A and B are shown apart, each in its own frame.
Chain A
Amino acid sequence: MSAEPTVGRKIGDVILDVANVSLSFGGVRALNGVSFDVNEGEVRAIIGPNGAGKSSMLNCINGFYKPTEGMITFKGESHHQMETYESASQGIARTFQNIALFKGMTTLDNIMTGRNLQMKKNFLWQALYFGPALKEELENREVVEKVIDFLEIESIRKTVVGRLPYGLQKRVELARALAAEPDMLLLDEPMAGMNHEEKEDMCRYILDVNDEFGTTIVLIEHDMSVVMDISDRVVVLDYGEKIADGTPDEVRANQRVVDAYLGVQHD
């Protein structure tokens, strides 16, 4: 389409640096000395065949798994291991491969939970829903409404999430992550199981989030064509090791990547 933006986005310095990270589950090495970096404001993809260690990598970044070796530096602070709440309070939000929403709650309530860290009043105040707690709730609701508007899910605001189709649930999950106003967003297969049109919508939202809020995005995706279209740089993992890193064009031309995807015999 001739509608391509002609001015580049602002890509800043390194915001996340992953250095030599390894992760083992007993005898299984899920990750083996993986290093890469993510610049502020870019869309960075991690791809690889099934079992390549993509989700494990994401889980290490947000502290869900503790790497056995290596260092993860986020916004200049280095950690060998990090707790999930630490990563959340530092501005990392994520979505999950298998949707992890509260199925019995409405879209609005689900997204409100994304504001949990910003709610400072204790539960007694919140239960009373009065005075400062009410004010706080209203302020947070405003942020949530902006997210709802942004992702165009107004019509399902009051719908219980469990009744929504899969594609919309994915969008609600993205909304909840966005509600935390993160600096970096980790998306675990945001387009898995979607049809062509839903994928297109999701791509548009991811690019818009990146463009509008300058949020750094790290995403895992199976669908090569989607990744190549929307990311600035791509890391390719295979059997827990990094086999390529670069722009989509470089990665596409890399023989090891082609082999990994076409299933050439490993030595």
Chain B
Amino acid sequence: MTDNASSPQDLDTLPKLLDHNARVRGAKMAIREKDFGIWQSWTWSQMADHVRALACGLKDMGLNEGDKVVVCGDNRPNLYSAMTAIQAAGGIPVPVYQDSVAEEMQYIYEHAEARFAIVENQEQVDKVLEIKDNTPKLEQVIFGDPRGLRNYAQTFIQSYASVQERGRAFDQSNQSFYGDSVASKSGADTSIMLYTSGTTGRPKGVMLSYDNMIITGRNCSELEGLGDDDSILAYLPMAWIGDNIFSHAQSYVTGYCVNCPENSDTVLEDLREIGPSYFFAPPRIFENILTTVMIRMEDAAKIKQRMFHYFMDVAKRVGLDILDGKPVSFGDRLLYKIGDILVYAPLKNVLGLSNVSVAYTGGVAIGPDIFIFYRSLGLNLKQIYASTEAAVFITIQRNGEVNPETSGKPALGVELNIADDGEVLFRSPGVFQAYFKDDEATKETKTDDGWVHTGDAGFIDSDGDLRIIDRSKDVGKLNDQSMFAPNFIENKMKFFPHIREAVTFGDGKDYVAAFINIDIESVGNWAERQHLAYSGYTDLAGQDTVYDLIQDCIEQVNADLAADDNLKGSQIRRFLILHKELDADDGELTRTRKVRRNVVVERYDDLIEALYSDKSHCEIDAVVTFEDGRKDTIRADLQIRDAKTADTARAAAE
């Protein structure tokens, strides 16, 4: 370990960076959590003590070099320090999605061969107990919040505080342990193991080194000019690579403060209180915020509505150019300034986005309208193209060169290559070490000289920006040999606020057909305005007027597709609205809310068959899983509709 406050470049592990931060900015806030209605803070030096005590405690409990430790719970300072403590004690943290059901957890515990688990609360302890008999390797369970656990007599369950207490005693008698253990690790060692959500097959354990995490984190901080006065809201799952970079590694590298919301329902309120300067949200969240704004505007007074729409038009016209630093006439600048005082600034303030200097979105495509809405307000929202295997960043849109249609230019240190079949390959300092216990998959994904297959088809446009077309393994052909790119079409549909999820079929078929999930909030609000009574999702989804509404959206998509020579064959001929929302608990979505195509195809094969027949409705029994694991069946009779395609529309006109 270095003795002086050396430049962070030599600090090649997270525990070393923590010590560094405790030395150079010990009194600065490292992490905050809203608890009992008040933001409670930990400084870097408090964090370092907290981590040291837990690391020593883990050692005292028998944690060995290289042992895997599962970490599971909401974003809590305790759990973030646990990750570093595990690393400092020589172990490897394995964060797990906190909403996973017991069986999903069991697979990860078994596969990772976890000996220890550090979990948030009773709910998570109960889940561990449920699978304990089937995971013989698991020895100790440590919990953070003691509530409701007082009477659990199992000897392998300990409280976080008691482990720390034990650690402090251990530290007294083994004063050199912590320093030696931290110093023994270096950048090339495995820092963390993350399980990919797995749209196909079982999740894979992605092993990432300290270098992967720290170098990519540092590169991004440099590119965006982040410093230790920045702050971020940590609200996305800790098991997701993004949170590990944004709320953990990057905070350690740059020394900025991480803020944990009170709980998952208060995120938007906490966002407003914190006003972070660095922000990531998946497109879904930006869509939700926009929907709420629009719904509230509809309830506002007429004069306010008029003012809002007038200035939003101004913003749409000149806002992007002003943000990108392009020339704009003085009159328009003045108008935009007035709009900023009256509309944009107050709106951003209400949303908690006033202080944002960089906001990212990624994961799936964001609707151009939504993207432009935020940028025109003056919010520096940019798209990234990311993957777990890259420790997040592959491409980032650059300030001043933001094109809504692309994913931007390669991040610092990233090389891009497009294979002959159109697949995007990359090589970067963030490239993962290997999949845990799966050499075959590692070889399939990563070449010997470090290039990683993304599985996405894309191309680099004339500006040098990457454009992603689709998951290349999903791209297929219709029977007339024209290209069928399902994600592309589905994204187009999902840009409509009424459509929450869409699944299209077409590979090896005569035409494209689609399953739709309506957005209950957006369609529900619409229904209220139409004085349409409904009892719940299933009822609303089956109504004729809702079908009309969705058909409208689909026909707009068709008109769009018809304009493209490559895609005009992919217009949607028939569709149905599913009687239930696709759900991760039913295995239909991954924990990061991506559709598991093969599961959907298998489960609803009757419906798919009906889409490719001339039936106008189809009956279905579906099994749903409740949150507590109970199962029940829903029976429904689904309507199937024909949508107009450009050809049929023309034929009808003639």
Chain B residues with CB below 8 A from A141, complex form: 37
Which residues of B, 129-158, contact A by the 8 Å Cβ criterion? 129-130, 132-133, 147-148, 150-154
Q: What's the tally of chain A residues with a CB closer than 8 Å to chain B?
A: 26
B147 touches A208 (CB 8 A): yes
Q: Identify which of B37, B125, B150, B269 gathers the most chain A CB atoms within 10 Å of its CB.
A: B37
Chain A residues with CB below 8 A from B126, complex form: 1, 3
- Cβ-neighbour of B130 out of A1, A8, A150 (below 8 A): A1
- Cβ-neighbour of B262 out of A1, A5, A9, A154 (below 8 A): A154
Interchain nearest-CB distance for A262 vs B (Å): 28
A148 touches B148 (CB 8 A): no
Interface: A2 (CB within 8 A):
yes
- Cβ-neighbour of B147 out of A148, A154, A212 (below 8 A): A212
Bound complex: CA A197 to CA B626 (Å): 9
Q: Which residue of A lies closest to B125 (CB)?
A: A3
B269 touches A155 (CB 8 A): yes
Bound complex: CA A9 to CA B150 (Å): 10
Interface: A6 (CB within 8 A):
yes
Interface: B263 (CB within 8 A):
yes
Interchain nearest-CB distance for B378 vs A (Å): 28
Bound complex: CA A1 to CA B152 (Å): 13
A208 touches B130 (CB 8 A): no
Chain B residues with CB below 8 A from A204, complex form: 148
Chain B residues with CB below 8 A from A9, complex form: 151
Interface: B628 (CB within 8 A):
yes
Interchain nearest-CB distance for A217 vs B (Å): 15
Bound complex: CA A1 to CA B147 (Å): 19
Bound complex: CA A212 to CA B262 (Å): 21
Interface: A259 (CB within 8 A):
no
Q: Taking chain B's interface residues, is the majority helix, strand, or loop, or is none over half, making it mixed?
A: loop
Interface: A146 (CB within 8 A):
yes
Interface: B265 (CB within 8 A):
yes
Which residues of B, 110-139, contact A by the 8 Å Cβ criterion? 125-126, 129-130, 132-133
Interface: A223 (CB within 8 A):
no
A197 touches B129 (CB 8 A): no
A2 touches B133 (CB 8 A): yes
Bound complex: CA A157 to CA B34 (Å): 13
Chain B residues with CB below 8 A from A212, complex form: 147-148, 150
Interface: A249 (CB within 8 A):
no
Q: Which residue of B lies closest to A144 (CB)?
A: B37
Bound complex: CA A8 to CA B262 (Å): 32
- Over the window 200-211 of chain A, the binary record of Cβ atoms lying under 8 Å from chain B Cβ atoms (1 yes, 0 no) is 100010011001
On whether A3 and B148 interact (CB within 8 A), knowing A152-B263, A197-B627, the answer reads no
Interface: B266 (CB within 8 A):
yes
- Over the window 27-43 of chain B, the binary record of Cβ atoms lying under 8 Å from chain A Cβ atoms (1 yes, 0 no) is 00000001111100000
A7 touches B148 (CB 8 A): no
A148 touches B263 (CB 8 A): no
Chain A residues with CB below 8 A from B263, complex form: 152, 154-155
B265 touches A155 (CB 8 A): yes
- Over the window 1-42 of chain A, the binary record of Cβ atoms lying under 8 Å from chain B Cβ atoms (1 yes, 0 no) is 111011111000000000000000000000000000000000
Bound complex: CA A142 to CA B38 (Å): 10
Bound complex: CA A122 to CA B36 (Å): 27
Q: Which residue of A lies closest to B628 (CB)?
A: A200
- Cβ-neighbour of A155 out of B38, B133, B151, B266 (below 8 A): B266
On whether A142 and B125 interact (CB within 8 A), knowing A1-B130, A9-B151, A197-B627, the answer reads no
Bound complex: CA A110 to CA B152 (Å): 34
A6 touches B265 (CB 8 A): no
Q: Identify which of B133, B148, B269 gathers the most chain A CB atoms within 10 Å of its CB.
A: B148
- Cβ-neighbour of B37 out of A1, A3, A145 (below 8 A): A145
Count contacts between A and B, CB distance < 8 Å: 61
Q: Which residue of B lies closest to A108 (CB)?
A: B37
A6 touches B152 (CB 8 A): yes
- Over the window 8-36 of chain B, the binary record of Cβ atoms lying under 8 Å from chain A Cβ atoms (1 yes, 0 no) is 00000000000000000000000000111
Interface: A250 (CB within 8 A):
no
Interface: A83 (CB within 8 A):
no
A3 touches B266 (CB 8 A): no
On whether A5 and B153 interact (CB within 8 A), knowing A145-B37, A146-B36, A149-B36, the answer reads yes
Interchain nearest-CB distance for A145 vs B (Å): 4
On whether A7 and B153 interact (CB within 8 A), knowing A149-B35, A157-B37, A208-B147, the answer reads yes
Q: Which residue of A lies closest to B264 (CB)?
A: A155
Chain A residues with CB below 8 A from B628, complex form: 197, 200
Bound complex: CA A141 to CA B147 (Å): 20
A6 touches B37 (CB 8 A): no
Chain B residues with CB below 8 A from A150, complex form: 147
B36 touches A5 (CB 8 A): no
Bound complex: CA A99 to CA B265 (Å): 24
Which residues of A, 105-160, contact B by the 8 Å Cβ criterion? 141-142, 145-146, 148-150, 152, 154-155, 157
Bound complex: CA A255 to CA B275 (Å): 64
Chain A residues with CB below 8 A from B132, complex form: 2
- Cβ-neighbour of B151 out of A145, A154, A157, A211 (below 8 A): A211
On whether A6 and B36 interact (CB within 8 A), knowing A1-B126, A154-B265, the answer reads no
Bound complex: CA A148 to CA B263 (Å): 12
Chain A residues with CB below 8 A from B262, complex form: 154-155
B130 touches A2 (CB 8 A): yes
Bound complex: CA A89 to CA B265 (Å): 35
On whether A148 and B37 interact (CB within 8 A), knowing A1-B130, A154-B265, the answer reads yes
B36 touches A208 (CB 8 A): no
B150 touches A6 (CB 8 A): no
- Cβ-neighbour of B129 out of A3, A149, A152, A200 (below 8 A): A3
- Over the window 178-211 of chain A, the binary record of Cβ atoms lying under 8 Å from chain B Cβ atoms (1 yes, 0 no) is 0000000000000000000100100010011001
Bound complex: CA A246 to CA B265 (Å): 42
Chain B residues with CB below 8 A from A8, complex form: 151
- Over the window 61-97 of chain B, the binary record of Cβ atoms lying under 8 Å from chain A Cβ atoms (1 yes, 0 no) is 0000000000000000000000000000000000000
Chain B residues with CB below 8 A from A207, complex form: 148
Chain A residues with CB below 8 A from B37, complex form: 141, 145, 148, 154, 157
Q: Which residue of B lies closest to A152 (CB)?
A: B263
On whether A5 and B35 interact (CB within 8 A), knowing A155-B263, A155-B266, the answer reads no
Chain B residues with CB below 8 A from A200, complex form: 628
18 examples of A-B residue contacts, CB within 8 angstroms: A2-B129, A2-B132, A3-B126, A3-B130, A5-B151, A5-B152, A6-B153, A9-B151, A141-B37, A142-B36, A145-B37, A146-B36, A149-B36, A154-B265, A155-B262, A155-B266, A211-B148, A211-B150
Instruction: Kindly list the 10 A-B residue pairs having the minimum CB-CB distance in the complex, ordered from nearest.
Output: A155-B265, A5-B151, A145-B36, A6-B153, A3-B126, A3-B129, A7-B153, A145-B37, A154-B262, A155-B266
Q: B residues touching A (Cβ–Cβ < 8 Å)?
A: 34-38, 125-126, 129-130, 132-133, 147-148, 150-154, 262-263, 265-266, 269, 626-628
Additional A-B contact list (13), CB under 8 Å, known A154-B262, A204-B148: A3-B152, A5-B153, A7-B153, A9-B151, A145-B37, A149-B36, A150-B147, A152-B263, A154-B34, A154-B37, A154-B265, A197-B626, A208-B147
Q: A residues touching B (Cβ–Cβ < 8 Å)?
A: 1-3, 5-9, 141-142, 145-146, 148-150, 152, 154-155, 157, 197, 200, 204, 207-208, 211-212
